[in-house]
Structure 1
Amino acid sequence: MIDQSLLDDAVNYFTEIANRIQKYSGKNIHEINIEFTYEEVRKHIDKDLISSKIKEEIHKYLENKIKDGSEDRSIRNISSNYNDLEVIYVISTDSIYKRYLHKIYLEAKESRNGFVYSGCNEKNMNNSYTSSSTQSKTALYVGKIDKNIVTRLVQQLYQGHPRTSSLHMATWPWDSQLAADIDKGKIYVELDFFSGKPDREPVDFITGKLWAKKKPMFGLKAK
């Protein structure tokens, strides 16, 4: 049934994919970082706000690439087509807020308010990593999406359709007495855009490895 020719075909298939991955090494992957305050999360994060933040950071990214002479067509492509590109994204916050977020997430999930919430990874509650600014951060969610990252971030950081599994953070029972303190905090979103059409297997693999490295509090491990 499985003969050497089939095995050779498999080797050739994955070798070709491996060769194509090299082309994405720093050239066709573009990282954009945006931030939101908890006040924005609690009150309203809409598509316009997310789009404006992404566009602003893409503009800065493009300017930097022009200055250092590394601008190319793939960078220009994300400027106008970012919402049609495949994206791996990480949502994080300062680690000091993770216990509070865990508490109100569980309250929201147990309230039976009609929303479908992403799962909670209890074993990842002690996760943290040090960012480039030396702040201790906790990953909340690691995911990928083929297109329409703006809508997905609305679902995560504000709320989407009740039956769409996501964080729906605006529906969490935020304590108004703590608002003055929590609003000083931030939620960080790292976006890695793939220019062109990357192969599904390596993107899935990279997302899974990133999930294992970041150990997010919420969401299933990417497959």
Structure 2
Amino acid sequence: MPAGNPQVASPVFLGVDVGSTTTKAVALSGGRVVGRSLKPTGEDFAASARAVAGEAAPGKRAFTVGTGYGRRVVSGADRTLTEITCLALGARSLDDKAAACLDIGGQDAKFIWLTPDGRPSGFALNDRCAAGTGRFLELAAERIGLPLGEWGEVELAEAEGLTLSATCGVFAESELVGHLASGAGPRALAAASALSIALRMPPLAHQAGRPGMPPAGGLVLAGGVA
């Protein structure tokens, strides 16, 4: 930089997602991630939003966007957007050929088809209790005694033919108990639980407006389950 020209810092743009289970914040400056934070949402949505925003971008912010279930409690937000819009734009920013985005969060799952310019053209949300969400996986992990942190090493083939057919989280948990009583192992039940969620996603894509999985242009996975 030439002498005498003070370096001007790039403006900081902050996004805060107040979800049902976790609250996240990401700060961007000059096209790069310069700060991030993630915390359990807890009972006080506004406090969670303030906490992650303060950690991700403690200084001056040029613009702040709030999204998620608690987007309206994001203090100082210049704009609020739905998760559907943010997921669509985020998916296309990660993959310029992405045709769809699948978000499996703590309390729901969303499938979003994208237009050529990266906007949502159709979407659907699961309507079947918690059986197709991250919360069910948390319950399953507790029930079978296999921490979620170890599930990434489990292969779907280890399900050994076990199935979970219930669409309600409570009934699905009861199925797990029955399989445990029959002698099924933790890894087999973890695989069966993950597979049960995966099998619920193609119908969600169809409900969103188009059949077919995976999308021809590519699929971006989002949410804690990803």
**Which range, TM-score by smaller chain?**
under 0.3
Q: Which has the higher contact order (CA 8 A, sep 6+)?
A: 1
TM-score by length of structure 1 reads 0.23
**Structure (1/2) with the larger helix percentage:** 1
Q: Give the number of the structure whose residues are more often strand, by fraction.
A: 2
Choose 1 or 2 for highest CA Rg: 2
